[in-house]
A and B are shown apart, each in its own frame.
Chain A
Amino acid sequence: MFEAGARPGTLLYVALGAGLMGVWSSTLFGAGGAIQWQRWQGTLELTVSAPTPFLLVMIPMTISAASIGLYSIAATLFWGRVFFGVPLHLVHPWLFALALPATLLGLGLLGLVMASTFILYRQASAFQNLLEYPVWLITGLLVPLALLPGWVAPIGWVLSPYWGMRAVRESALGGDALVPIGMCVGLAAVYLVLGAIFLANFERLARKHATLSLT
């Protein structure tokens, strides 16, 4: 931010990217470990055995974990404004207001997919540590994908942070934000289906092998 800010428009670009890095971190560790955390707390058996579908219990947990990342965006923009003089002029404020919840929805449901797959592996926390930097990199949160090798971009396309970043940036800095917003919602629907399948599979395996409470 110190040096790159010398180029017009870069400061807000970087501030939004840094904010979304926080959203990804809270999704990765909060949502990704949501089931594991319940297991450690001894509440997993209770929630699974309750008549409410487990999926409906998990969705608000993962979306709320992603929403904690809103603090990162707010704090980064606040620091940027107060300490670095980052201009906070939003080109499409209404689209920006739409882009944020769409991004959180996309990330929250990606968190659901992670939670339902990570739970099957004892080493899941290691994968959580591993996934922080690469997703920051391949979804273009700070570094434009054009600087990375060509094969990286298609990986980013299937990840909601990439579209969330585009939605937020294009609504703030100018551009067509509707397409990325639509992609966030579309990917969220795909993640929901995947999460439901993985969660049902996890529940079936855990009941079959009596491993629900095993860490």
Chain B
Amino acid sequence: MRSFWRVFFVGGVISYRALFNWISPVMYVTTMLGSPFFQVLFFAYLGRFSRLQDDTFFVVGNGVQISAMAAIYGMTMGIANERNFQTLSPLLATPANRLALFLGRALPQIASGLFVSAFGFGIGLLLLDFHLGWSQVPPLALVLVVTVSSCTCFGLLLGSIGLRARDVFFISNLVYFLMLLFCGVNLPLDALPGWMSAIGRCLPLTHGIEAARAIARGAALGDVSGLIVTEAAIGVVYASVAFGLFRYFEYEGRRRASLETM
């Protein structure tokens, strides 16, 4: 059991450090904070121009969505890079518990995603017409924890696909930007065609953003509990499928001696 937690925590932290060891803090700031900073401003001003919704709508939508920088890109790289950097075979040769190995990589990304998200809300509070009372902070924080975790589970799925796919980073890029459209980040879900909103409801972020918007507009936690539970359930489903794929690709990779075949 001790070994499980060691792999979970220490392994996860080392994996996260490996992800950022080839860059300086400048790169973290420009990529994880700089780009989201301008994303929030861009869509808020676009909203003002289109008169589609107020600043709160865009700050909350983008404030939650920018956590996908860590959840999608970070998580995809956290797993798929093992193959790209040819470290997958030594890793899988160890007797380490696979579940600890797998989930441990998600924890730092969840923390990073929450930090980026909080930064996005801070931008809204400081520079845009967005207001949040102290009483709204705890329920909003809970929604963010659930949503970022759920989105990270989706990232785990993409990372697992990266154990087999030749160019998973193309997929993660595509997914990140499609989530802007399908998850109701900058458009109300009911403004989308039915098939698009149906896909959006099967993705992480969608219900979390809806819950966060309701809380920002004064709803109580109990009013959005259904949305939070749905968001969490979506995350559990993606995590289960992701772990299944991870084990399957590991088994197939061993069987066909193709673990690190590019």
* Residues of A that sit less than 8 Å from B by CB: 2-4, 122-123, 125-127, 129-130, 132-134, 136-137, 142-144, 147-148
Contacts and interface: CB of A to CB of B under 8 A. Distances in A.
Contacts of B48: 143, 147
Is chain B's interface secondary structure helix, strand, loop, or mixed overall?
A: helix
Nearest to B39: A133
B50 A126 contact: no
Interface of B: 23-24, 26-27, 30-31, 34-35, 38-39, 41-42, 45-46, 48-52, 187, 191
Nearest to A10: B50
B35 A143 contact: no
B27 A123 contact: yes
B49 A147 contact: yes
B42 A137 contact: yes
Contacts of A4: 49-52
A130 B45 contact: no
Contact of A134 (B27, B38, B46, B49): B38
Given A4-B49, A123-B24, A142-B46, 7 more contacts: A122-B24, A125-B27, A126-B27, A129-B31, A144-B49, A147-B45, A148-B45
A179 to B, nearest CB: 24
Contacts of A133: 35, 38-39, 41-42
A171 to B, nearest CB: 22
B23 A123 contact: yes
10 contacts: A3-B50, A3-B52, A123-B26, A125-B27, A126-B23, A130-B31, A130-B35, A136-B42, A137-B45, A143-B46
A143 B49 contact: yes
A129 B23 CA distance: 14
A161 B23 CA distance: 30
A132 B30 CA distance: 12
Contacts of A143: 42, 45-46, 48-49
Contacts of A148: 45
Contacts of B26: 123, 126
A3 B186 CA distance: 12
Q: Which 4 A-B pairs have CB atoms at the shortest separation, nearest pair first?
A: A133-B38, A4-B50, A126-B30, A130-B34
A129 B38 contact: no
A122 B34 CA distance: 17
A2 B38 CA distance: 23
The interface centre, meaning the residue of A127, A130, A132, A148 with most chain B CB atoms within 10 A of its CB, is A130
Contacts of B49: 4, 142-144, 147
Contact of A3 (B27, B30, B35, B51): B51
The interface centre, meaning the residue of A4, A126, A129 with most chain B CB atoms within 10 A of its CB, is A126
B245 to A, nearest CB: 28
B45 A127 contact: no
Contacts of A123: 23-24, 26-27, 30
A127 B30 contact: yes
Contacts of B45: 137, 143, 147-148
B133 to A, nearest CB: 27
B187 A129 contact: no
Nearest to B26: A123
B225 to A, nearest CB: 30
A142 B46 CA distance: 7
Contacts of A126: 23, 26-27, 30-31, 34
Contacts of A3: 50-52, 191
